[in-house]
Structure 1
Amino acid sequence: MLLQHFYTIVASQSIEPQSFETTVTIQKEHPVFEGHFPNFPVTPGVAMLQIIKELTENHLQQSLFLKSASNVKFLAVVDPNVNASLKFNIAIQEDGQHIKIKNNTSFKDGTPVLKCNVTFVKR
């Protein structure tokens, strides 16, 4: 875990053989929010991508390296004081050494937060 104690996995389940859904809670007391931004905490986009990487690694039991990200759309600000719970829906397609994922992240109420396609390389 790159950002120690940044989030906690609340629930995780396989949807189909190549997709899963994981709900996490962002830890609003984490030091990253002291600088991003004081008195108005915003979850950094790079931290969101790191969560996707770690959840995918955990699901596949495989170490991965982020090769590329495309169609990255941040659709809502994630303020951990307002909405700390996020649901990640990740569909996986394996292509040799590459793991291609399609991610849809939302708040508990279904409001879209992040959509992206990411390609990882197996380590």
Structure 2
Amino acid sequence: MFLPKLYDITLLETLPDSVAAKVLLNAEHPIFKGHFPGSPVFPGVCQIELLKDILRQAFKTEIAMPNVGSIKFINVIEPQHTPELIVKMSFQKRDENVFDTTASIDNGERFFLKFKGIFKVSNEH
């Protein structure tokens, strides 16, 4: 995990071509005191690391992100108001260890992130 105790992955469902997860943000994590004081938001870089962390757990190996096609941060995630997130990822195998991936983060009512890019899984476990 990028920043320990920032979030918990409370549910992880893995299928051959997709992953779905439920995530609970820790609104008391110190990162929210600095990003931003009085109006905390879940940083975009942490959202991308969350995607990698979910894939890391699903594939049980290290994950790299060699290429990003597009990332759209549609709405801000305020951990005090939106502590529970739904992450959906689908992927198509490009070659043995490389996957074209689309992903989204939402809360069942609003989308917060849409992602298209490439993830690469490590051969080492």
- Please report the TM-score for the alignment, with normalisation by the length of structure 2: 0.89
- RMSD over aligned Cα atoms: 1.3
**For residue 6 of structure 2, what is the aligned residue in structure 1?**
6
**For residue 90 of structure 2, what is the aligned residue in structure 1?**
91
Structure 1 residue ranges without an equivalent (≥5)? none
Secondary structure at 1:3's aligned position in 2?
Answer: coil
CA displacement, residues 38-63 of structure 1 (integer Å, 9 cap, x when unaligned): 01001100000000001011111221
- Please list, as runs of the form range in 1=range in 2, the aligned pairs for 1:105-120 lying within 5 A after superposition: 105-107=105-107, 109-120=108-119
- 1:121 is aligned to 2:90: no
- Please report the TM-score for the alignment, with normalisation by the length of structure 1: 0.90
- Aligned-pair CA distance for 1:28: 0.6
Structure 2 residue ranges without an equivalent (≥5)? none
- Please list, as runs of the form range in 1=range in 2, the aligned pairs for 1:1-123 lying within 5 A after superposition: 1-14=1-14, 16-96=15-95, 97-107=97-107, 109-123=108-122
Q: Conserved in 1, the CA contact under 8 Å of 2:12 and 2:58?
A: no
Moved over 4 A (4+): none
Q: 1:62 to 1:100 in 2, by over 3 A?
A: farther
- Give the length in aligned residue pairs: 121
- Aligned-pair CA distance for 1:121: 2.6
Give the whole-Å Cα distance in 2 for the aligned partners of 1:37 and 1:61.
33
Q: Conserved in 1, the CA contact under 8 Å of 2:18 and 2:90?
A: yes
Q: Conserved in 1, the CA contact under 8 Å of 2:26 and 2:79?
A: yes
